[in-house]
A and B are shown apart, each in its own frame.
Chain A
């Protein structure tokens, strides 16, 4: 009996430790593979030139069009999500402070919205585009992606706002500021760290998402200049180039994967750094 017990204890402890370390190993493995494959294919040409003679047929050039297109779409979408998402999160925490039930219902619905897959947003964006008579363009891509990241923005920001002590807000109200001023001057400042995290998270999600821009942003070999031109994006560049039969083009896909991974890693690490930096000056 005692042996069995001890064995069970040891067995499960080892298993669960193994599973945890396996996760770290998997992450290192994935990033290692991407870097190993990408480094050999990476060159200044790929970073700084647009494709010449068709991205699919192994012409010269690189993926600058996709890098710029991705940055445009991600920053545009993050900006729209910021304009709509930030006030919504503030409203939820300032005006609805007294209505716990409503607050929780709203959070619950937003979480559900977060779970909707990006392909559905893509299909919806496409339907909307046809309805409005637009073509696949930068603008359509930005709008679709902004819908996708909106719930993420609100929920992430809200998560930090909800931890701010109520007394701070009550003090501000007692000094005669309106709820609105309290929201923007007190809550936003105190929760700025959460806001930055939310923005960076949205940006990372927006730049990495392929299914929603597949229908809406189109693909082109040029760098988009106007909002109504189609734009290439990094995830789609990887996806299309990888399905090419020509080895050189596949190599370029690996290089693009490396670029995208690096962008994501930088965003993820800077989110951590910023959130530490900005929480130092908070009132506690």
Chain B
């Protein structure tokens, strides 16, 4: 083989391998980097105290993340409950009942919805969702609220996560063999019953995984939530009260974190917690999806 060709070939081949390896080192580097940064905090406080204490006073060096973690969980739960019917029914309609034409329209719709930046959702939330909750919903329920609330954060998040889960659900429902559905129809089932018994029941793991990944995405979402959720620790279960989710905590305090001892370490620890939770959720549910795809 000509020398030049051989050199080009081996160089290119090596670079391909190196780039793949870089990709694999990336999560390890992120994990260890954040861990190294949060070591100073972990030396002073026990892990249990950090995660489960609600006592947050950086200037007196007490760091309890529980109110932020629970705030995140609450917003995520609301968004999950709101997005569940949309995702499930839209996916069923698009894969089972709809015309090809509608499907052709929906593809760009889903693409654009998932491509819109989170700031835009935040702006929309401030313009529409927050005033709606503050001016109409809260008075109608007999309470007062500024509108900047868990419910506002949850609804904005729900809209953001719908395309994500919906895409996966559509992909999963498409893999249901046609014959199975036809067999069910020929035995006298109505088309909804066929969907209920064949499409939904046969795909439990896939459906759970799609929603799980949606939850993971919602849990880590920062800017959009931060703009509408109020960013005040309230520790109440009223969805019309504000909350302070974990990502918002990191994003709001980066400016002052170098002026207070251990503060930067605490925020890096918060990022590490977020990273670990989301990677674990992702690993579990991605595994479920890969399993269903193989079948």
Contacts and interface: CB of A to CB of B under 8 A. Distances in A.
B260 interface: no
Interface string A109-131: 11111011111111110111001
Interface stretch (A16-24, A53-61, A223-231): A16-24
Interface string A6-17: 101100110111
Given A87-B15, A112-B286, A257 B90 contact: no
A154 interface: yes
Interface in A64-78: none
Interface in A144-196: 147, 150-151, 154, 178-181, 183-184
Contacts of A126: 254
B126 A242 contact: yes
Given A34-B124, A117-B221, A111 B282 contact: yes
Interface SS, A side: helix
A63 interface: no
B116 A261 contact: yes
Interface residues of A, number: 91
Contact of B278 (A8, A115, A208, A210): A115
Contacts of A24: 105-106, 109
Given A112-B282, A127-B268, A13 B192 contact: yes
Interface in B110-146: 110-113, 115-124, 126-128
Given A113-B26, A150-B23, A261-B120, A119 B247 contact: yes
Interface string B263-274: 000011011001
A280 B192 CA distance: 39
A22 to B, nearest CB: 7
Contact of B123 (A109, A119, A238): A238
A198 interface: no
B175 interface: no
A215 B112 contact: no
B217 interface: yes
B259 to A, nearest CB: 14
A229 to B, nearest CB: 19
Nearest to B112: A268
A12 to B, nearest CB: 5
A147 B116 contact: no
B115 A204 contact: yes
A108 B118 contact: no
Interface string B215-231: 01101111100010000
B282 to A, nearest CB: 4
Contacts of A119: 220, 222, 247, 250-251, 271, 274
A47 interface: no
B49 interface: no
A260 interface: yes
Interface string B153-186: 0000001001000100000000000000000000
A30 B86 contact: no
Contact of B190 (A5, A34, A269): A5
B271 A16 contact: no
A51 interface: no
Interface string B1-37: 0000000111011011101101110110110011011
Contact of B128 (A19, A33, A184, A260): A33
Contact of A108 (B16, B17, B120, B287): B287
B102 interface: yes
A13 B97 contact: yes
A265 B219 CA distance: 26
15 contacts: A6-B190, A13-B93, A27-B112, A30-B124, A91-B16, A113-B27, A117-B217, A117-B221, A147-B26, A208-B119, A210-B117, A214-B254, A238-B123, A264-B117, A268-B112
Interface of A: 5-6, 8-9, 12-13, 15-20, 22-24, 26-27, 29-31, 33-34, 37, 83-85, 87-88, 90-92, 95, 104, 106-113, 115-124, 126-128, 131, 147, 150-151, 154, 178-181, 183-184, 201, 204-205, 207-211, 214-215, 235, 238-239, 242, 253-254, 257, 260-261, 264-265, 267-269, 271-272
Interface of B: 8-10, 12-13, 15-17, 19-20, 22-24, 26-27, 29-30, 33-34, 36-37, 85-86, 89-90, 92-94, 97-98, 102, 105-106, 108-113, 115-124, 126-128, 159, 162, 166, 190-193, 195, 213, 216-217, 219-223, 227, 247, 250-251, 254, 267-268, 270-271, 274-275, 278-279, 281-283, 286-287, 290
